[in-house]
Amino acid sequence: MSTNTAAAPPESIFKNRFFQTVLLSNVLLQIGIWVRNFAILLFVTDKTNNDPISVSLISVVEFAPIFIFAFIGGTFADRWRPRRTMIWCDFLSAASVFVVLGSLMIGSWQLIYLATAVSAILSQFSQPSSMKLFKKHVPENQLQSAMALFQSLIGIFMVLGPSLGVFVYQTYGIEISIAIMGIAFLLSAVVLFRIPKDDKEEAAAAAGDKQFWKELTDGLRYVWKSKVLRPLGGTFALAGTAIGTIQSLGIFLVIERLDQSKDFLQYLLMVNGFAMLIGGGLIMAVAKKVQPQVILAAGTVVSAVTIAGMGISTNVTLTLVLQFLSGLMMPGIQIGISTMILKWTEPEYIGRVNGALSPMFMGMMVIMMSLSGVLKSAFPLVGIYIFAGFVMILCVPLLVPIFKLRPPGEEANAAAAEVNEAAR
Protein backbone atom coordinates (compact mmCIF):
# COMPACT_ATOMS: atom_id res chain seq x y z
CA MET A 1 0.00 0.00 0.00
CA SER A 2 1.10 3.54 -0.62
CA THR A 3 2.15 5.48 2.43
CA ASN A 4 0.83 8.76 1.12
CA THR A 5 -2.46 8.35 2.94
CA ALA A 6 -0.65 9.56 6.01
CA ALA A 7 -0.51 13.05 4.64
CA ALA A 8 1.92 15.57 6.00
CA PRO A 9 1.00 19.25 5.96
CA PRO A 10 1.69 20.86 2.56
CA GLU A 11 4.33 23.18 3.95
CA SER A 12 6.49 20.21 5.02
CA ILE A 13 7.37 19.08 1.49
CA PHE A 14 10.92 20.44 1.75
CA LYS A 15 11.40 18.51 5.01
CA ASN A 16 10.68 15.25 3.18
CA ARG A 17 14.02 13.37 2.97
CA PHE A 18 13.04 11.63 -0.26
CA PHE A 19 11.98 14.88 -1.91
CA GLN A 20 15.19 16.65 -0.82
CA THR A 21 17.32 13.84 -2.23
CA VAL A 22 15.58 13.53 -5.58
CA LEU A 23 15.58 17.32 -5.99
CA LEU A 24 19.36 17.46 -5.46
CA SER A 25 19.88 14.48 -7.77
CA ASN A 26 17.88 16.25 -10.47
CA VAL A 27 19.94 19.43 -10.10
CA LEU A 28 23.07 17.39 -10.87
CA LEU A 29 21.40 15.58 -13.75
CA GLN A 30 20.16 18.85 -15.25
CA ILE A 31 23.70 20.25 -15.22
CA GLY A 32 24.98 17.20 -17.08
CA ILE A 33 22.07 17.09 -19.52
CA TRP A 34 22.26 20.77 -20.52
CA VAL A 35 26.01 20.68 -21.01
CA ARG A 36 25.49 17.55 -23.10
CA ASN A 37 22.59 18.97 -25.13
CA PHE A 38 24.39 22.08 -26.31
CA ALA A 39 27.87 20.63 -26.51
CA ILE A 40 26.72 17.80 -28.78
CA LEU A 41 24.45 20.07 -30.84
CA LEU A 42 27.16 22.66 -31.49
CA PHE A 43 29.83 20.00 -32.00
CA VAL A 44 27.77 18.13 -34.60
CA THR A 45 26.78 21.32 -36.46
CA ASP A 46 30.47 22.33 -36.55
CA LYS A 47 31.55 18.91 -37.80
CA THR A 48 28.82 18.55 -40.46
CA ASN A 49 28.36 22.18 -41.57
CA ASN A 50 24.77 22.40 -40.26
CA ASP A 51 23.60 19.21 -42.01
CA PRO A 52 19.88 18.80 -41.08
CA ILE A 53 20.00 14.99 -41.16
CA SER A 54 22.95 14.87 -38.76
CA VAL A 55 21.33 17.43 -36.45
CA SER A 56 18.00 15.55 -36.37
CA LEU A 57 19.89 12.32 -35.62
CA ILE A 58 20.84 13.81 -32.23
CA SER A 59 17.19 13.83 -31.21
CA VAL A 60 16.56 10.42 -32.75
CA VAL A 61 19.27 8.71 -30.69
CA GLU A 62 17.95 10.48 -27.60
CA PHE A 63 14.33 9.44 -28.00
CA ALA A 64 14.31 6.22 -30.05
CA PRO A 65 15.72 4.15 -27.15
CA ILE A 66 12.95 5.57 -24.95
CA PHE A 67 10.34 4.21 -27.34
CA ILE A 68 12.03 0.82 -27.60
CA PHE A 69 12.77 0.30 -23.89
CA ALA A 70 9.80 2.00 -22.19
CA PHE A 71 7.66 -1.17 -22.11
CA ILE A 72 10.54 -3.24 -20.76
CA GLY A 73 11.81 -0.64 -18.30
CA GLY A 74 8.37 0.08 -16.87
CA THR A 75 7.66 -3.59 -16.26
CA PHE A 76 11.01 -4.25 -14.62
CA ALA A 77 10.55 -1.12 -12.49
CA ASP A 78 7.50 -2.81 -10.95
CA ARG A 79 9.64 -5.89 -10.15
CA TRP A 80 12.94 -4.37 -9.01
CA ARG A 81 13.79 -2.33 -5.96
CA PRO A 82 13.31 1.29 -7.14
CA ARG A 83 16.09 2.90 -5.06
CA ARG A 84 18.68 0.38 -6.21
CA THR A 85 17.49 0.71 -9.82
CA MET A 86 17.90 4.51 -9.82
CA ILE A 87 21.39 4.34 -8.31
CA TRP A 88 22.64 1.71 -10.77
CA CYS A 89 21.18 3.57 -13.75
CA ASP A 90 23.09 6.74 -12.87
CA PHE A 91 26.32 4.80 -12.28
CA LEU A 92 25.99 3.03 -15.64
CA SER A 93 25.18 6.31 -17.41
CA ALA A 94 28.35 7.84 -15.98
CA ALA A 95 30.40 4.82 -17.09
CA SER A 96 29.04 5.05 -20.66
CA VAL A 97 29.91 8.75 -20.82
CA PHE A 98 33.53 8.09 -19.86
CA VAL A 99 33.72 5.40 -22.58
CA VAL A 100 32.56 8.00 -25.11
CA LEU A 101 35.11 10.45 -23.73
CA GLY A 102 37.83 7.88 -24.36
CA SER A 103 36.68 7.40 -27.96
CA LEU A 104 36.72 11.17 -28.53
CA MET A 105 40.28 11.40 -27.28
CA ILE A 106 41.39 8.86 -29.90
CA GLY A 107 39.54 10.68 -32.69
CA SER A 108 36.30 8.72 -33.20
CA TRP A 109 33.76 11.55 -32.89
CA GLN A 110 30.73 9.67 -34.28
CA LEU A 111 30.47 7.70 -31.02
CA ILE A 112 29.34 10.92 -29.35
CA TYR A 113 25.78 9.85 -30.15
CA LEU A 114 26.31 6.88 -27.81
CA ALA A 115 26.45 9.11 -24.70
CA THR A 116 22.90 10.29 -25.41
CA ALA A 117 21.56 6.87 -26.42
CA VAL A 118 22.77 4.97 -23.34
CA SER A 119 21.52 7.68 -20.99
CA ALA A 120 18.10 7.53 -22.69
CA ILE A 121 17.91 3.74 -22.35
CA LEU A 122 18.75 3.76 -18.66
CA SER A 123 16.27 6.55 -17.97
CA GLN A 124 13.49 4.11 -18.91
CA PHE A 125 14.37 2.01 -15.89
CA SER A 126 15.15 4.92 -13.57
CA GLN A 127 12.22 7.26 -14.29
CA PRO A 128 9.36 4.83 -13.50
CA SER A 129 11.25 3.76 -10.37
CA SER A 130 11.33 7.41 -9.31
CA MET A 131 7.57 7.67 -9.93
CA LYS A 132 6.96 4.63 -7.72
CA LEU A 133 8.93 6.23 -4.90
CA PHE A 134 7.00 9.48 -5.34
CA LYS A 135 3.79 7.52 -4.93
CA LYS A 136 5.19 5.92 -1.77
CA HIS A 137 6.97 8.81 -0.05
CA VAL A 138 5.02 11.95 -1.08
CA PRO A 139 1.52 12.52 0.38
CA GLU A 140 -1.20 12.56 -2.27
CA ASN A 141 -2.27 16.10 -1.43
CA GLN A 142 1.29 17.24 -2.22
CA LEU A 143 1.80 15.37 -5.49
CA GLN A 144 0.73 18.16 -7.84
CA SER A 145 2.74 20.73 -5.87
CA ALA A 146 5.78 18.43 -5.92
CA MET A 147 5.48 18.01 -9.70
CA ALA A 148 5.18 21.79 -10.03
CA LEU A 149 8.38 22.25 -8.02
CA PHE A 150 10.22 19.86 -10.31
CA GLN A 151 8.95 21.72 -13.35
CA SER A 152 10.17 24.95 -11.75
CA LEU A 153 13.60 23.33 -11.41
CA ILE A 154 13.50 22.44 -15.10
CA GLY A 155 12.49 26.03 -15.81
CA ILE A 156 15.50 27.33 -13.90
CA PHE A 157 17.78 25.18 -16.02
CA MET A 158 15.98 26.20 -19.19
CA VAL A 159 17.15 29.71 -18.27
CA LEU A 160 20.65 28.84 -17.10
CA GLY A 161 21.33 25.60 -18.97
CA PRO A 162 21.74 26.88 -22.54
CA SER A 163 24.26 29.53 -21.49
CA LEU A 164 26.06 26.98 -19.34
CA GLY A 165 26.24 24.49 -22.22
CA VAL A 166 27.41 27.05 -24.77
CA PHE A 167 29.98 28.50 -22.36
CA VAL A 168 31.48 25.13 -21.44
CA TYR A 169 31.67 23.97 -25.06
CA GLN A 170 33.07 27.20 -26.49
CA THR A 171 35.53 27.66 -23.61
CA TYR A 172 36.74 24.12 -22.97
CA GLY A 173 35.67 22.05 -25.99
CA ILE A 174 33.76 18.83 -26.41
CA GLU A 175 35.98 16.62 -24.23
CA ILE A 176 35.61 18.69 -21.06
CA SER A 177 31.88 19.03 -21.79
CA ILE A 178 31.45 15.26 -21.93
CA ALA A 179 33.57 14.83 -18.78
CA ILE A 180 31.30 17.25 -16.87
CA MET A 181 28.29 15.22 -17.97
CA GLY A 182 29.87 12.00 -16.64
CA ILE A 183 30.80 13.59 -13.30
CA ALA A 184 27.25 14.95 -12.90
CA PHE A 185 25.74 11.49 -13.40
CA LEU A 186 28.24 9.99 -10.98
CA LEU A 187 27.46 12.54 -8.26
CA SER A 188 23.73 12.00 -8.79
CA ALA A 189 24.17 8.29 -8.13
CA VAL A 190 26.04 9.05 -4.90
CA VAL A 191 23.34 11.48 -3.73
CA LEU A 192 20.61 8.86 -4.29
CA PHE A 193 22.05 6.74 -1.47
CA ARG A 194 20.17 9.16 0.86
CA ILE A 195 16.82 7.77 -0.28
CA PRO A 196 15.23 5.50 2.36
CA LYS A 197 16.16 1.89 1.67
CA ASP A 198 13.83 -0.31 -0.36
CA ASP A 199 11.45 -2.64 1.41
CA LYS A 200 12.85 -6.08 0.51
CA GLU A 201 9.60 -7.92 1.23
CA GLU A 202 7.61 -5.45 -0.85
CA ALA A 203 10.04 -5.79 -3.78
CA ALA A 204 9.92 -9.59 -3.58
CA ALA A 205 6.13 -9.56 -3.53
CA ALA A 206 6.05 -7.27 -6.55
CA ALA A 207 8.22 -9.65 -8.54
CA GLY A 208 6.38 -12.76 -7.33
CA ASP A 209 6.11 -15.73 -9.64
CA LYS A 210 4.54 -13.89 -12.57
CA GLN A 211 6.04 -14.12 -16.00
CA PHE A 212 7.51 -10.92 -17.39
CA TRP A 213 5.28 -10.86 -20.48
CA LYS A 214 2.15 -11.51 -18.43
CA GLU A 215 2.98 -8.52 -16.24
CA LEU A 216 3.53 -6.39 -19.31
CA THR A 217 0.18 -7.36 -20.88
CA ASP A 218 -1.56 -6.84 -17.51
CA GLY A 219 -0.26 -3.28 -17.59
CA LEU A 220 -1.60 -2.70 -21.09
CA ARG A 221 -5.02 -4.04 -20.08
CA TYR A 222 -4.99 -1.81 -17.01
CA VAL A 223 -4.46 1.27 -19.20
CA TRP A 224 -7.08 0.19 -21.74
CA LYS A 225 -9.80 -0.28 -19.08
CA SER A 226 -9.16 3.09 -17.45
CA LYS A 227 -11.48 5.94 -18.39
CA VAL A 228 -8.63 8.38 -17.76
CA LEU A 229 -5.46 6.58 -18.87
CA ARG A 230 -6.85 5.45 -22.23
CA PRO A 231 -7.65 8.96 -23.56
CA LEU A 232 -4.40 10.14 -21.99
CA GLY A 233 -2.63 7.64 -24.26
CA GLY A 234 -4.24 9.23 -27.33
CA THR A 235 -3.19 12.65 -26.06
CA PHE A 236 0.36 11.36 -25.69
CA ALA A 237 0.42 10.14 -29.29
CA LEU A 238 -0.83 13.44 -30.73
CA ALA A 239 1.47 15.54 -28.55
CA GLY A 240 4.40 13.33 -29.54
CA THR A 241 3.60 13.86 -33.21
CA ALA A 242 3.45 17.64 -32.81
CA ILE A 243 6.57 18.00 -30.67
CA GLY A 244 8.59 15.48 -32.66
CA THR A 245 7.87 17.36 -35.88
CA ILE A 246 9.66 20.49 -34.64
CA GLN A 247 12.00 19.04 -32.00
CA SER A 248 15.12 19.23 -34.18
CA LEU A 249 14.18 22.34 -36.16
CA GLY A 250 14.64 25.10 -33.57
CA ILE A 251 18.11 25.90 -34.84
CA PHE A 252 16.73 26.38 -38.38
CA LEU A 253 13.95 28.62 -37.03
CA VAL A 254 16.69 30.84 -35.61
CA ILE A 255 18.84 30.83 -38.76
CA GLU A 256 16.16 31.03 -41.48
CA ARG A 257 13.13 32.77 -39.98
CA LEU A 258 14.89 35.15 -37.57
CA ASP A 259 18.12 35.60 -39.55
CA GLN A 260 20.23 35.08 -36.42
CA SER A 261 23.33 33.00 -35.74
CA LYS A 262 22.81 29.50 -34.34
CA ASP A 263 24.00 30.66 -30.89
CA PHE A 264 20.77 32.70 -30.62
CA LEU A 265 18.93 29.42 -29.93
CA GLN A 266 20.14 29.62 -26.33
CA TYR A 267 18.22 32.88 -25.82
CA LEU A 268 14.99 31.35 -27.09
CA LEU A 269 15.43 28.49 -24.65
CA MET A 270 16.30 30.86 -21.82
CA VAL A 271 13.07 32.82 -22.37
CA ASN A 272 11.19 29.53 -22.49
CA GLY A 273 12.81 28.40 -19.25
CA PHE A 274 12.10 31.68 -17.44
CA ALA A 275 8.45 31.36 -18.45
CA MET A 276 8.38 27.73 -17.28
CA LEU A 277 9.67 28.85 -13.91
CA ILE A 278 6.80 31.33 -13.60
CA GLY A 279 4.30 28.80 -14.95
CA GLY A 280 5.36 26.19 -12.43
CA GLY A 281 4.82 28.70 -9.62
CA LEU A 282 1.37 29.63 -10.92
CA ILE A 283 0.33 25.99 -11.09
CA MET A 284 1.50 25.46 -7.51
CA ALA A 285 -0.81 28.31 -6.51
CA VAL A 286 -3.86 26.69 -8.13
CA ALA A 287 -2.89 23.03 -7.57
CA LYS A 288 -5.72 22.36 -5.12
CA LYS A 289 -8.36 24.30 -7.04
CA VAL A 290 -7.97 23.05 -10.64
CA GLN A 291 -8.06 19.44 -11.81
CA PRO A 292 -4.88 18.32 -13.66
CA GLN A 293 -6.80 17.38 -16.82
CA VAL A 294 -8.06 20.96 -17.14
CA ILE A 295 -4.52 22.29 -16.71
CA LEU A 296 -3.32 19.80 -19.34
CA ALA A 297 -5.96 20.87 -21.86
CA ALA A 298 -5.19 24.57 -21.37
CA GLY A 299 -1.50 23.83 -21.91
CA THR A 300 -2.13 22.02 -25.19
CA VAL A 301 -4.28 24.87 -26.59
CA VAL A 302 -1.66 27.52 -25.84
CA SER A 303 1.13 25.29 -27.16
CA ALA A 304 -0.74 24.73 -30.42
CA VAL A 305 -1.18 28.46 -31.03
CA THR A 306 2.37 29.39 -30.10
CA ILE A 307 3.98 26.60 -32.17
CA ALA A 308 2.17 27.76 -35.28
CA GLY A 309 2.88 31.40 -34.45
CA MET A 310 6.63 30.85 -34.05
CA GLY A 311 6.74 29.19 -37.46
CA ILE A 312 5.00 32.15 -39.09
CA SER A 313 6.90 34.90 -37.26
CA THR A 314 9.98 36.56 -38.71
CA ASN A 315 10.16 39.14 -35.93
CA VAL A 316 12.55 38.40 -33.08
CA THR A 317 10.44 40.16 -30.46
CA LEU A 318 7.22 38.40 -31.48
CA THR A 319 8.95 35.02 -31.51
CA LEU A 320 10.35 35.65 -28.04
CA VAL A 321 6.86 36.58 -26.78
CA LEU A 322 5.39 33.41 -28.28
CA GLN A 323 8.20 31.37 -26.79
CA PHE A 324 7.45 32.94 -23.41
CA LEU A 325 3.75 32.06 -23.66
CA SER A 326 4.62 28.53 -24.72
CA GLY A 327 6.95 28.14 -21.75
CA LEU A 328 4.36 29.62 -19.39
CA MET A 329 1.90 26.83 -20.19
CA MET A 330 4.34 23.98 -20.82
CA PRO A 331 4.44 23.06 -17.10
CA GLY A 332 0.68 22.60 -17.36
CA ILE A 333 1.20 19.79 -19.86
CA GLN A 334 4.00 18.09 -17.95
CA ILE A 335 2.52 18.52 -14.46
CA GLY A 336 -0.96 17.54 -15.65
CA ILE A 337 0.30 14.30 -17.22
CA SER A 338 2.49 13.30 -14.26
CA THR A 339 -0.20 14.09 -11.69
CA MET A 340 -2.89 12.20 -13.60
CA ILE A 341 -0.72 9.10 -13.89
CA LEU A 342 0.11 9.15 -10.18
CA LYS A 343 -3.43 9.87 -8.97
CA TRP A 344 -5.26 7.42 -11.22
CA THR A 345 -2.79 4.52 -11.02
CA GLU A 346 -2.44 1.94 -8.27
CA PRO A 347 1.11 1.72 -6.84
CA GLU A 348 1.81 -1.76 -8.23
CA TYR A 349 1.06 -0.57 -11.78
CA ILE A 350 3.02 2.73 -11.82
CA GLY A 351 5.96 1.34 -13.80
CA ARG A 352 3.84 -0.47 -16.35
CA VAL A 353 1.51 2.48 -16.90
CA ASN A 354 4.56 4.61 -17.60
CA GLY A 355 5.86 1.86 -19.87
CA ALA A 356 2.58 1.73 -21.76
CA LEU A 357 1.99 5.46 -22.17
CA SER A 358 5.53 6.69 -22.82
CA PRO A 359 5.90 4.77 -26.12
CA MET A 360 2.73 6.37 -27.42
CA PHE A 361 4.38 9.75 -26.98
CA MET A 362 7.94 8.73 -27.77
CA GLY A 363 7.00 6.46 -30.66
CA MET A 364 5.29 9.23 -32.59
CA MET A 365 7.96 11.69 -31.51
CA VAL A 366 10.77 9.48 -32.79
CA ILE A 367 8.98 8.81 -36.09
CA MET A 368 8.48 12.52 -36.70
CA MET A 369 12.00 13.41 -35.60
CA SER A 370 13.34 10.78 -37.98
CA LEU A 371 11.37 12.46 -40.74
CA SER A 372 12.07 16.04 -39.72
CA GLY A 373 15.27 16.32 -41.73
CA VAL A 374 13.45 15.02 -44.81
CA LEU A 375 10.46 17.29 -44.15
CA LYS A 376 12.77 20.25 -43.77
CA SER A 377 14.29 19.52 -47.17
CA ALA A 378 10.89 19.08 -48.85
CA PHE A 379 8.58 21.64 -47.20
CA PRO A 380 8.78 25.25 -45.99
CA LEU A 381 9.55 25.64 -42.31
CA VAL A 382 6.34 27.67 -41.86
CA GLY A 383 4.18 24.81 -43.12
CA ILE A 384 5.88 22.32 -40.82
CA TYR A 385 5.25 24.46 -37.73
CA ILE A 386 1.61 25.11 -38.67
CA PHE A 387 1.07 21.36 -39.13
CA ALA A 388 2.58 20.70 -35.69
CA GLY A 389 0.28 23.29 -34.08
CA PHE A 390 -2.79 21.75 -35.74
CA VAL A 391 -1.92 18.27 -34.46
CA MET A 392 -1.42 19.61 -30.92
CA ILE A 393 -4.89 21.19 -30.81
CA LEU A 394 -6.42 17.78 -31.58
CA CYS A 395 -5.51 16.71 -28.01
CA VAL A 396 -8.33 18.79 -26.53
CA PRO A 397 -11.33 16.69 -27.77
CA LEU A 398 -9.77 13.61 -26.14
CA LEU A 399 -9.51 15.35 -22.76
CA VAL A 400 -12.97 16.96 -22.63
CA PRO A 401 -14.83 13.76 -21.52
CA ILE A 402 -12.62 13.39 -18.43
CA PHE A 403 -12.75 17.01 -17.23
CA LYS A 404 -15.19 16.22 -14.39
CA LEU A 405 -13.66 12.93 -13.24
CA ARG A 406 -11.93 12.84 -9.86
CA PRO A 407 -9.16 10.48 -8.74
CA PRO A 408 -10.32 7.35 -6.83
CA GLY A 409 -8.93 8.67 -3.53
CA GLU A 410 -10.78 11.97 -3.86
CA GLU A 411 -14.01 10.18 -4.83
CA ALA A 412 -13.74 7.96 -1.75
CA ASN A 413 -13.14 10.99 0.47
CA ALA A 414 -16.10 12.80 -1.06
CA ALA A 415 -18.34 9.75 -0.54
CA ALA A 416 -17.23 9.47 3.09
CA ALA A 417 -17.95 13.16 3.61
CA GLU A 418 -21.46 12.70 2.21
CA VAL A 419 -22.11 9.73 4.53
CA ASN A 420 -20.89 11.71 7.53
CA GLU A 421 -23.04 14.66 6.56
CA ALA A 422 -26.08 12.42 6.20
CA ALA A 423 -25.40 10.85 9.61
CA ARG A 424 -25.60 14.24 11.25
Please report, for the domain that includes residue 292, its CATH number: 1.20.1250.20
**Within a domain: residue 421?**
no
Q: Which residues of 287-309 are buried (b: 16+ CB within 10 A; e: fewer)?
A: beeebbbbbbbbbbebbbbbbbb
What is the predicted pLDDT for the residue at 309? 93
Tell me which of 12 and 283 has the higher pLDDT: 283
Domain, as residue range, for 273: 16-197+210-415
**Within a domain: residue 291?**
yes
What is the predicted pLDDT for the residue at 318? 93
Report the largest interatomic distance among the alpha carbons of the chain, rounded to a whole angstrom. 79
Average pLDDT over every residue of 288-315: 87
- In whole angstroms, give the CA distance from residue 392 to residue 88: 36
What's the total number of domains in the chain?
1
What is the predicted pLDDT for the residue at 393? 92
Contact 387, 233 (CB under 8 A): no
What is the predicted pLDDT for the residue at 33? 84
Nearest to 237 by CA among 402, 343, 358: 358
- In whole angstroms, give the CA distance from residue 121 to residue 116: 9
**DSSP assignment letter at 403:** T
pLDDT category at 127 given cuts 50, 70, 90 is confident
* pLDDT surpassing 90 at residue 187: yes
**Within a domain: residue 306?**
yes
What is the predicted pLDDT for the residue at 389? 93
What is the predicted pLDDT for the residue at 388? 92
**Within a domain: residue 335?**
yes
